[in-house]
Amino acid sequence: MNVEFFPVTTKFIYYFKGALPFDVYLQRSEGKFTKIYNKLAEHDPEQIYRYENKDVSTLYITQEEKHLYGSFLCKLMDQYTQGSSPIDKEKMLDIIKTSLEMTYEKIVAQNDELDTNIIWASQQIKSALYLMQDDMSAAIEIFKNLSADEQLLKHSYMVSIFSVVLAKNLGFSTERNLMSIGLGALLHDVGHTRINEELFKKPQLSSKEWDEIKDHPHLGLKIVDHIKGISTDVRSIIIQHHEHYNGRGYPNRLSNNLIFPPAKIVAIADGFCSFVSKASYRETTFTPEQALTMMKDDIGHYDPAYMEVFKQVIQGKKK
């Protein structure tokens, strides 16, 4: 039986303290792998250092144990956030970006017909994380909250990707704008982490339960309020991504020109990604074409000019 392998960087193995939750392999030659650490063994930092000196920057785990790698990254974050030594920003950003890369792989695997410039957008979003590096403790806490719900993290990352792609096609070209839109989209639903998760699994909600969910933009603002790297633009996206073009959205019933343009972008990406992805409250998923049709038929919800560009982005780049 052929065993498939998944690459991990030597630096992540080096960072980790304690028993490794998976077997670790070294690639000797094309298709030839040798196990260098057994599961539950501790790595030898000196050995890792010697590998790196020989320009070996990648080790491998089996695809079968790949799911353990996500837990491994979370434990790495715990080691740095619970330790007494200062947080190493570069290491923490590496961990967060690698977690996002794993989410990106799942998106591609499940939506490979969406041939947008995903790799470019992915890099933009990971770069946007540097906006939070002045307050890494708070940023890590936010990311851990998102990571606790794999579906929420995946959705947030998908929305970020399509938001940045749409923004670029609408003429948002400066690095500052794209990074703010990428980060705002990544954090747009962070308020969900303060709401009873059982509510998101219900196909029908009472008016009181619906009011609780509609409070998530305000809750999101409170969560990011103390983080220095969160700009006014990012905050505007978080609070306005459920406002509607016709003024019937929430929380402030803003309409058309009163809505921050990047928030309109994130609203479209949010709606699209919700339709094409699995949701805990429904079994049905929709094709990109079906999603676009339903969104265009929802007259008054989305900015029609932005929707037309988004349609061209999705259909024009489709495989």
- The residues spanned by each domain of the chain are 1-85, 93-316
Q: Give the separation between CA 38 and CA 27, rounded to whole angstroms.
A: 15
Q: What is the pLDDT of residue 271?
A: 96
pLDDT digits (tens, 9 = 90+) for 254-273: 999 999 999 999 999 999 99
Residues 6+ apart with CB under 8 A from 113: 288, 318, 319
Q: Which of 40-44, 107-111, 140-144, 215-219 has the lowest mean pLDDT?
A: 107-111
| Percent of the chain clearing pLDDT 70 (strictly above) | 88
Q: What is the pLDDT of residue 116?
A: 44
Q: Can you name the residues that pair with 42 across neighbouring β-strands?
A: 19
Q: What is the pLDDT of residue 263?
A: 98
Give me the helices (H) in 27-149, please. 45-53, 66-82, 89-110, 118-128, 136-147
pLDDT above 80 (res 85): no
Can you give the pTM of this predicted structure?
0.78
Q: Can you name the residues that pair with 35 across neighbouring β-strands?
A: 25
pLDDT above 80 (res 118): no
Q: What is the pLDDT of residue 292?
A: 94
Residues 6+ apart with CB under 8 A from 92: 77, 80, 136, 139, 140
Q: What is the pLDDT of residue 281?
A: 64
Give the homologous superfamily in CATH for domain 93-316. Hypothetical protein af1432 (1.10.3210.10)
pLDDT above 50 (res 318): no
Mean pLDDT of the chain: 86
Q: How many CB atoms lie within 10 A of CB 285?
A: 15
pLDDT above 80 (res 313): yes
> pLDDT band at 226, cuts 50/70/90?
confident
More confident residue, 95 or 123: 95
Mean pLDDT across 108-116: 51
Q: What is the pLDDT of residue 319?
A: 41
